[in-house]
Amino acid sequence: MITIEGVSKIYSTSSVALRDVSLHIKAGEFVSVIGQSGSGKTTLTRLLIAEENPSKGKIKIGDWDISKIKTNEIPFLRRQIGMIFQDYKLLPQKTVFENVAFALEVAGEKSKRIRHVVPQLLEIVGLSDRKDRYPFQLSGGEQQRVAIARSLAHRPKIIVADEPTGNLDTINTEEIIQILKKINEFGTTILLLTHNREVVNALRRRVITLHNGQIALDQEAGKYIL
Amino acid sequence: MINLHRVTKFAFQDITRNFGLSFMTVLILILMLLSVNALWSVKIITKEAVGLIKDQVNVSIYFAASAGDKNVGEIEKYVKAFPEVVDVQTQTSDQVLASFKQRHALSKDVLSALDELNANPFGPTMVIKTREPQDYKKIIQALSVPEYKDLIEAKSFDEHESAIEKIQNITNRTENIVAGLVILFAAISFLIVFNTVRAAIHTQKVEIGIKRLVGASNWFIRGPYLIESFIFSVISLLATIGVIYFTLRFVDQYLSAVFPSGFSLTNYYNSHILYVFGLQFLSVLVLTVVSSALAMRRQLKV
């Protein structure tokens, strides 16, 4: 599903974010990527959604080499990868329904289909009764669930979750992880970037540890080791 | 078509949900348009006033009593041939005498003195009007040739020369000052509007980033701002037109007292409505669109 071959991201000789990273993530895997701040986790995310291009190496999503992606192809890539962030990144002037619908609207989906799909997505994350609220009227956990619903709008094959539980308490963290596991069970590949030891240990799934921009450990059913 | 409809919907949502900022942007555009129209009106009024004064200036040629009608007729033809000349009014010796008598009908001494002469002492006169005051010099020069020396007794241009030059100077200076003010004001307005639009977009920097992350194309991000620019231009222009016509109702009362010709700014705006407001609409639209485009340039880099 995701193939990274010898990827480096070099900003300057004294600032190297990733060094010769190679890995392969199979379709339907649930992979946690851990590492200290500055280890290269965020750079990896930015490369996956083409916010930046690698200095060296290749990144392939399926058969699509996105290392030298054209500017006008980027929106199409981003519609195929669901993104979830620590700060939720919801549009503050739009309601819950509109936030989820927006992801479909930008792709030119018909209004009838949007009216049909969005309630289903809100049902999955348990927010059907909050559809007319604005983000500031929701708790952190609820906002993150809206972000998850939005990330599912295009039925992506991959979801990249960058510290999705970073701002949440234990109960909400557990709820979010359960939703991600449920999504994974339907066959979606999940790439979870996290600092949360308990979450990683409880998952018992593949764990990739980054250190100084390199892969330090890659364990199947691994644990949080730093 | 779906996309255009959605982009328009987002534009209206942005306007209503950021009402304060939208209101300020429109207000600044209205103030800019009102200032430009005020300067424009001053220019029009000045032009009308100068035109009125110019109309009252002319050159009179006084012919000798001995100058025959034939000679005067030839000179009239000669003068009329100049493209600068717009009107020539000639009076024969008899007409000059008759109007003299009419003017002095109550002065018996003057009339009896005239009777003593037993002959008409007046020669024909010619009143010439040209397009521009500076053209008079050319006409006078053309008539100051040896062949006409014995026929023309006097020319009144010398008396008007300084007045004409003054009017010319005032006209030129006013036009330069108004043009300078319009340019200065347009530049200041551009900077204010540009920064207002830029501030509006800067406050939505995070939103633009989120739109990019969910896969919005540049058109989806830029479109609402372009449509907002169009809506702001229409609203500000309509409001400006309303304020202008309301104000003109009062201004025209004063103008009608000053200009006996019946000049009114309302009539001017009515007869130039498409040109004046069309030009202003295009300028405001270009200004807001360019401001938006420049302000978004950085945010649109994916």
Average pLDDT taken over every residue of chain B: 82
> How many angstroms from the chain centroid is the CA of residue B237?
20
Ranking A8-22, A45-59, B14-28, B171-185 by mean pLDDT, the lowest is B171-185
Q: φ, ψ for residue B61 (rounded to 5)?
A: -110, 125
Are B209 and A91 within 8 A, CB to CB?
A: no
In angstroms, the CA A2 to CA A180 distance is 18
Are A89 and B213 within 8 A, CB to CB?
A: yes
Cβ contact B75:B148 at 8 Å: yes
Q: What is the pLDDT of residue B116?
A: 80
**Using a CB-CB distance cutoff of 8 angstroms, which residues of chain A are in contact with residue B2?**
108, 110-111
Strand B85-91 vs strand A81-85: parallel, antiparallel, or unpaired? Answer: unpaired
CA distance A105 to chain B (A): 7
Mean pLDDT comparison of A121-125, B7-11, B172-176, highest-scoring range: A121-125
Q: What is the pLDDT of residue B164?
A: 63
Nearest to A3 by CA among A20, A28, A22: A22
Nearest to B286 by CA among B194, B155, B160: B194
Q: φ, ψ for residue A86 (rounded to 5)?
A: -60, -40
Q: What is the pLDDT of residue B74?
A: 86
* Of residues A17 and B54, more confidently modeled: A17
In angstroms, the CA B130 to CA B86 distance is 5
Are A90 and B6 within 8 A, CB to CB?
A: no
Residue B197 in this model has a pLDDT that exceeds 80: no
Q: Which of A79, A93, A100, A113 to mutate to test the interface with B (most CBs of B within 10 A)?
A: A93
3 state SS of B113:
helix
Q: Which of A77, A102, A108 sits opposite B3 (nearest CB)?
A: A108
The pair of three-digit structure tokens given for residue A3, joined into one six-digit string: 């193939």
In angstroms, the CA B232 to CA B26 distance is 6
B18 in A contact zone (CB under 8 Å): yes
pLDDT tens string B46-98: 778 777 777 777 788 888 878 777 888 888 888 888 888 888 888 888 888 88
Cβ contact B122:B98 at 8 Å: no
User: If you write DSSP's letter for every residue of A79-143 in order, what string do you get?
Assistant: TTEEEEETT----TTS-HHHHHHHHHHTTT--HHHHHHHHHHHHHHTT-GGGTT--GGGS-HHHH
Q: Which of B2, B211, B214, B221 to mutate to test the interface with A (most CBs of A within 10 A)?
A: B214
Cβ contact B232:B288 at 8 Å: yes
Residue type for A31, please? V
Residue B126 in this model has a pLDDT that exceeds 90: no
Per-residue pLDDT band at B166 (split at 50, 70, 90): confident
B235 in A contact zone (CB under 8 Å): no
Model ipTM value: 0.78
In angstroms, the CA B195 to CA B192 distance is 5
CA distance A88 to chain B (A): 10
The pair of three-digit structure tokens given for residue B126, joined into one six-digit string: 């010619």
Are A79 and B215 within 8 A, CB to CB?
A: yes
Residue carrying the six token digits 């309630």:
A119
Q: Which of A89, A90, A107 sits opposite B215 (nearest CB)?
A: A107
Are A51 and B302 within 8 A, CB to CB?
A: yes
B6 in A contact zone (CB under 8 Å): yes
B220 in A contact zone (CB under 8 Å): yes
Domains of chain A (ranges, CATH numbers): 1-80+157-226 (3.40.50.300), 90-155 (no CATH)
Q: What is the pLDDT of residue B1?
A: 67
Cβ contact A177:A203 at 8 Å: yes
Residue A140 in this model has a pLDDT that exceeds 50: yes
Question: Rounded mean pLDDT of A184-199?
Answer: 92
Q: What is the pLDDT of residue A60?
A: 93
Residue carrying the six token digits 């997505």:
A121
Mean pLDDT comparison of A49-58, B37-46, B70-79, highest-scoring range: A49-58
Q: What is the pLDDT of residue B91?
A: 87
Q: What is the pLDDT of residue B302?
A: 47
Nearest to B126 by CA among B155, B99, B149, B147: B155
Question: Rounded mean pLDDT of B114-141?
Answer: 81
The pair of three-digit structure tokens given for residue A82, joined into one six-digit string: 């669901």
Give the ranges where chain B is alpha helix by DSSP (H): 2-17, 19-56, 69-80, 93-103, 108-117, 135-143, 146-149, 157-203, 205-213, 218-258, 265-271, 273-296
**Bridge partners, residue A59, by sequence:** A4
Are A111 and B2 within 8 A, CB to CB?
A: yes
Q: Residue ranges of the domains in chain B?
A: 2-53+167-296, 59-132
A102 in B contact zone (CB under 8 Å): yes
Report the predicted TM-score, pTM, of the whole model to 2 decimal places.
0.67
**Using a CB-CB distance cutoff of 8 angstroms, which residues of chain A are in contact with residue B217?**
72, 75, 106
CA distance A154 to chain B (A): 10
3 state SS of A13:
coil
Cβ contact B194:B294 at 8 Å: yes
